[in-house]
Structure 1
């Protein structure tokens, strides 16, 4: 219905005429010097080793959520007032960046067992304005770098991530930064010593933004040890003394007020000025439910009202150091070292960091485990060792079932390495790293190249069989003409296939917004591979097919 007028045959179509005119000289040259062409193609493949070795490795490209998550850590044992002041200072500094729309931070943990965050760990959600309102040339990475420079506060180790990603990472590995080190062993003090040594060494690795090793034994605790003999002299049990400690110092809920549908507990304890230091705590009075004995012994004096004894007389009160939290993995105590870096791929950074810390001698029973995104990367590599060969085998079987010839199958699969030439060069030029998204694109490209290779082989086979059936295949020159006929016929559908693929994938390379970075990594190897495979297939396929059929024709 939509096709009007006279339909021209393919040979007389203006586009086909132009394509045939451009392609025919190169095809004749390829058939005239097939071995030289194969050597050149092999050299191009060998040259691709350079960009391939320059590619880094990562688990997944950054998936920007439109919101940043600032998770700094300060020195342990900071008071609530100091933590509050530091949090407000960070919020004010972040709010000065033009691209920031809203800042909301918290210190410590929420009232839930699923959030065991210490007071020295901050979590700040930074909502960004739409990209249209950003300064010219600004990107998320540049904003993070500006934040990091602005928030250079003594005693604070910065780290930046995104809210959803941070929650998933912490649930999966416990590490909230891109890379972390888990130090496993039996003793917390030794773990802390090893962690501090790692922190000092990893700081020297290029690209490191911040390193923070957990301080496992720097928590300060108030220990109240009841003197059982002294308490027994006054008829007190340990429970009686500790009940006073709980109510007077820690506070005790005595009732609940009801205001409409709201309920508020009423907590009673000593005012802050009476429990602010050790000496005041020792003066907390403990009621005694018996007559107080005389210091020199003998008969006790008659009761003069409820007796009270200072807490310092019934218990030893002192401040001790100990672990603020205890982690364990695989039956061993664990200490985490958090590492934040920028401008490098995960795989390359960790390999260099491993070489840096290789000189650190670990005592027997202690070991290091690299975690975070690097842990995902290792799992991905192990999975790809199975997926990629399996995919190649499936493609091989499908092509063999179609051609019923190992030689033809090998000719079709020859397109795959040639297509990787463009994939790796384009990835190198764009500065992308190898990731799951990139490998998805490469696997899709392999299937696409095998499909177009089968069609190319089909055209060559049809031309060869036609020449043979008509009795025109009498020598090498006739073989070249048959291959030229089949190859030239293939030029239009090949260009149409490539044009449609590029029309769908090239716009992705210029897209922006959430998820665009992942889609670009999938599209990039396909765009680069399709371009090079088109050039190489149109020249290499006829050359390989010519050498194969020439050998059979010479023997015949």
Structure 2
């Protein structure tokens, strides 16, 4: 069988060369199309459901949020397992699907069940889906270098400007902010004054919430002109909160400032983000979507950051905390260096021992075609180019080189022996 295959290839050299060229061209196309990442994605095919109910204990979260959601998420097609985790004020549910299930189909089915399960949860509690990324989707971290801004201002800049701009980059699932203080109006209530004015804490919460709102009116026509009437009631300063009316005491309005004080502060933090022991910083984590090319996404994020940089306040710049593209480029460079080294070594060995440049050319053609065939298989089976696969290709190059040298030397020896027998036979005939 092998003999016939070799004879067929020798009789149709042009077709073999065309097939080899086509394979090499398709391999180049597969290299450009195949996702490139630093580490293989071995995470499970999962959908995360996150629910927040601040101020509640883990047991209450487990009984009133986690258990109803887990019970109603049972029965979704192609679900392998459902895991629930309850903690102070938060609930996490991990719905594990089979590996061959499409991620966005799975998210749609989970969302359908959540719409039904919403009625079983306490009022005001809304479950949300986590980002469509994987456990290894954190591809780029950055922080702000803003010596003239405090941590609260930096966090506001990150949350309301930078984050929204970077989330528009194709392939980005989420930009998670970290560090700093989230600004908020804080009401420090005096319980003695509440008791004196006969006002409950719930009254304070409801009144403040109701007064922080714009209201719309009807259309008003005058002198042939139509005017839209609306009431502007959103809070703009501390004084607006202090002047909110909570009730009346003996005909006198009781305002927020009468029962407590209002201040601008930061939300409760469970930790800080320190950079190299030099102090706190504010920044973000770029999370990549499923099956995206990490290298291209990082390049697009950097281009977008260059555009965003133009709109930042004076003295504010981006600093890179973690960049996976560096590791990706090093892995690619390692494969390229290995391929070049093997090509040079093989050429020298073949030329040194055989003194036949055509034999060396055969192996030089064989190496890139073999690597291209490897990337074709990676693309066909949906495997990304990462450290593991690229290392395997680098190791396989050595095997291909050894095989090529043995085969070429063997073919060269047989051809040489055949030529010697032919020459000796011609000499005998001439004698």
TM-score under structure 1 length normalisation: 0.49
1:52 corresponds to 2:16: no
RMSD: 4.4
Listed one character per residue, the Cα deviations across residues 377-424 of structure 1 (whole Å, up to 9, x for unaligned) are 421422442454146425753774576257344432321112233223
More strand as a share of residues: 2
Matches for 1:126-141 after TM superposition, within 5 Å = 126=95, 138=101
Alpha-carbon offset, residue 87 of structure 1 = 5.2
Give the deviation of 1:433 after TM superposition. 2.7
2:403 to 447, 452, 462: 452
Matched, 1:278 2:189: yes
- Cα deviation digits, residues 331-370 of structure 1 (max 9, x gap): 4613324535234232233333444444213342420537
Aligned to 1:369, what secondary structure does the other structure show? strand
CA contact 2:172–2:286 (8 Å) conserved in 1: no
Aligned residue for 1:147?
110
Pair 1:327-2:273 in alignment: yes
- Give the 3 Å change call, closer, same or farther, for CA 318–124 of structure 1 in structure 2: same
Q: 1:473 to 1:454 in 2, by over 3 A?
A: farther
Is 1:194 the counterpart of 2:158 in the alignment? yes
* Residue of structure 1 aligned with 2:327, choices 348, 366, 379: 379
The answer as to whether partners of 2:145 and 2:319 remain within 8 angstroms in 1 is no
Structure 2: unaligned runs, 5 residues or longer: 116-124, 196-259, 427-431
Report 1:537-548 matches (<5 A): none
Q: Deviation string for 1:284-308 (max 9, x for gaps)? A: 9xxxxxxxxxxxxxxxxxxxxxxxx
SS at match of 2:282: strand
Residue of structure 2 equivalent to 1:437: 388
- Rounded to whole Å, the distance in 1 between the matches of 2:18 and 2:425 is 28
Matching of residue 213 in structure 1 with residue 177 in structure 2: yes
Answer yes or no: is the 8 Å Cα contact 1:183–1:367 preserved in 2: yes
Q: Which whole-Å CA distance do the structure 2 matches of 1:89 and 1:218 have between them?
A: 31
Cα distance in 2, alignment partners of residues 378 and 473 from structure 1: 62
Which sections of structure 1, spanning at least 5 residues, go unmatched?
Answer: 1-17, 109-118, 170-176, 224-276, 285-315, 476-556
Aligned pair in 2 of structure 1 residues 21, 68: CA closer, same or farther (>3 Å)?
A: closer
Q: Within 5 Å, which residues of 2 pair with 1:158-169?
A: 158-159=130-131
Q: CA deviation at 1:462?
A: 0.9
CA distance 1:389–1:60, shift in 2 (3 Å): same
TM-score (norm 2): 0.61
Distance 2:23 2:157 in 1: 52
Aligned length: 335
Larger Rg: 1
- Residue of structure 2 in register with 1:531 after alignment: none
- Whether the 8 Å CA contact 1:95–1:103 is kept in 2: the answer is no
8 Å contact kept, 1:183–1:195: no
Give the CA deviation at 1:280.
0.5
Match of residue 225 from structure 2:
none
Report the secondary structure of 2:307's partner residue: coil
Name the structure 2 match of 1:339.
287
Q: Deviation string for 1:76-133 (max 9, x for gaps)?
A: x94337993665665455445352544321234xxxxxxxxxx56x5445567xx6xx
Separation in 1 of the partners of 2:320 and 2:108? 28
Q: Which segment is superposed worse, 97-106 or 387-396?
A: 387-396
In 2: Cα distance, 1:72 partner to 1:184 partner: 28
Counterpart in the other structure of 1:417:
368
> 1:144 deviation in Å?
5.0
SS of 2:423's equivalent in the other structure is coil
